[in-house]
Chain A
Amino acid sequence: DQQVKQNSPSLSVQEGRISILNCDYTNSMFDYFLWYKKYPAEGPTFLISISSIKDKNEDGRFTVFLNKSAKHLSLHIVPSQPGDSAVYFCAASATDSWGKLQFGAGTQVVVTP
């Protein structure tokens, strides 16, 4: 039962342009959402998070948007840089599942010159 879905397995974007990654979820009890970036042979690196009481959170080049009514969140990276090429995972946790993160399958981002 995949409760967090990333429907785009890959995304190619030009350097300097905006990358938009999408994530959908089905569990209405999810109230905390995170994005992680993963390079090959490394563990996931935390990027940014958002609580369900907010609809937007920014940190430098990264902005996460949350639409609770649509059960949808997105990550915007502006401007995209070659070092952003990685797999990006969306994750969520629920009020009644302390610290149990549920992950999407990931989106492979390739930033081209």
Chain B
Amino acid sequence: DAGVTQSPTHLIKTRGQQVTLRCSPKSGHDTVSWYQQALGQGPQFIFQYYEEEERQRGNFPDRFSGHQFPNYSSELNVNALLLGDSALYLCASSLSSREETQYFGPGTRLLVL
């Protein structure tokens, strides 16, 4: 049973560039959430996708956008990268039921220079 997978594992970009991160949910899951984890902090909720639509959004600017595909996989896009966007980006999947536990992937480490 495949868990949550993310690609790439590491990425280096320069300020102003754009980046796309990818996530495949755990088998049987239909909901994907994205989190940003800065060094020494807990994950911060970016947004959640269900039925190919953004269902919930955290306190992140419009530079952060996403997409969910019919197979439930998802992308996170960040435009006009800032140095402060350097972080671990985590994808989590769950079933649509509200109290379903979220299962996390290994994350993508993004470094913005």
Contact = CB atoms under 8 A, between A and B. Distances in A.
A105 B31 CA distance: 25
A34 B48 contact: no
B73 interface: no
Interface string B39-79: 01111110010000001101000000000000000000000
A101 B106 contact: no
A98 B42 contact: no
B101 A46 contact: yes
User: Which of A4, A34, A36 lies at the interface centre, i.e. has the most chain B CB atoms within 10 A of its CB?
Assistant: A36
A21 to B, nearest CB: 13
B104 A98 contact: no
B41 to A, nearest CB: 6
Contacts of B35: 101, 103
A101 B33 contact: yes
A44 B99 contact: no
Interface residues on A, range: 20 to 34
B25 interface: no
A81 interface: no
A99 B40 contact: no
A77 to B, nearest CB: 19
Interface of A: 4, 6, 32, 34, 36, 41-46, 49, 51, 89, 91, 97-106
27 contacts: A4-B42, A6-B42, A34-B102, A36-B104, A41-B106, A42-B107, A43-B92, A43-B106, A44-B90, A44-B104, A46-B101, A46-B103, A89-B42, A97-B56, A98-B56, A99-B33, A99-B94, A99-B102, A100-B33, A100-B56, A100-B58, A101-B45, A101-B102, A102-B45, A103-B35, A103-B43, A106-B42
